[in-house]
Amino acid sequence: MEYTTLGDTGTKVSRICLGCMSFGSSDWRDWVLDEAESRPIIERAIDLGINFFDTANMYSKGESERILGNVLADYDRDWPVVATKVYNPMDEDNPNARGLSRKAIEQELQNSLDRLGMDTIDLYQIHRWDYDTPIEGTLRALDDAVRRGQVRHLGASSMWAHRFADALHTSDRLGLDRFVTMQNHHNLVYREEEREMIPLCEREGIGTLPWSPLARGFLTRPHEEFLDTTRGEFMDDHDRMSDRVANYYAGNGDEINDRVAELAEEKGVTMAQIALSWLLHQETVDAPIVGTTSVEHLEDAVEALEIELSESDQAYLEEPYEPVPVDGHD
C-alpha cells in the first residue's frame, strides 16, 4: 500500500479510501450489504493496508457508520483514519435533523460519534452547501467541534468553487479551522472540476478525494453493457441517476470508455484499474473513494496503484473529453 498526506494536515492516509456507502441495509438501497456481508470487505481492506474509510450519516440512515464502527472496534483505534459527513436529512419529521446549522451539526455529530463508537472523528465533512445557513455560522460550529476534541480535521464536498473560496476566506478572516479536503465528483468522463475547483485546491493546499472515481461503474465495463448492471438499472429508475448517466455519455464518454478498454487490454489489466490509475496520477488527488460490494473488486482497486500510465497514455484517455453540464453540487 502507498500512503500520502491528507491535504496539508500531516496525517498519513492510504492512496485508496474505502467508501462505505454500500455497507448498511438493503432497505435503503437494494444493492447495499448488511453487516455480515460488509465485514469481510472492511477486514480485507485493513489486511491490504487501507487505513482510510469514508462514510456519512445519511448512508442507510446511520447503519453504515454503525457497521464501520463495529468492525474497527476489533482493531487498534490508532490505525484507521475515519471520515464521515453531515448535511442530508436524517429524520423526515425533524426539520433540524438536516442542514448545517449549529443545532444540526452538534446533534448529528454526536449521533455519528455514538454510532461509530469513537470519541473523535478524524475528518468531518459537510456533504453539500447549505443555502439556508450563513457559512460563518457553520464554520464557527465546526471550529468549536475541533476545539472540543470531537473532530480532528474538516472537509467539504461538492459545491461551486466560488463558495468554497468564500468558506476558506471566511475561516482565515475569523481565525477558524479551515477545510483541508474537497470530496468532489471527478473521473475520466466527468472532469468539470478541473476548470475551477481543482486549481483552487492546488493553490490552497487542499487535498481532493474524488467520489465516483469509476463513474458509478460506467468505466468498469464496455459502455454497451453498462445499463444491464444493477447500478445501471437503478439509474434508469431514478431521474437524477439517469441524468448522471446521460452526462457520462454526453462528453464523448463512449469514446473514452472504448479507449479505457483498449488500454486495459494492452496492459493486461481491468478497465477499472486503468480508470483508477488515471486518477491516481493526478497531482491534487490524495485518495479516490472506492466503493465496492466484493473483496475481488477491492483487491483490483489496490492493484491499480502498481499501474504506470505514461504521459501519452494519459493524453490518449483525456483527448476525447468534451464539456458536460455541472453535476453533483445539489
Q: Is 131 considered catalytic here?
A: no
Cα dihedral sign, 284-185-308-14: positive
Shortest CA distance to 287 belongs to which of 9, 12, 10, 24? 12
Give just the sign of the alpha carbon dihedral 268, 271, 275, 276: negative
Residue 268's identity, in one-letter code, is G
Sign of the torsion formed by the C-alpha atoms of 4, 309, 206 and 119: negative
Residue with cell 486518477: 279
Pairing of the two strands 3-5 and 12-14: antiparallel
CA distances (Å), origin 7, targets 116, 181, 185, 282: 23, 6, 17, 14
User: Per the structure block, which three cell numbers stand in for 180?
Assistant: 483541508
Of 59, 87, 190, 248, which is the active-site residue? Answer: 59
Please report where in the chains the cell 488527488 appears, as a residue. Answer: 285
Which residues are part of the catalytic machinery? 59
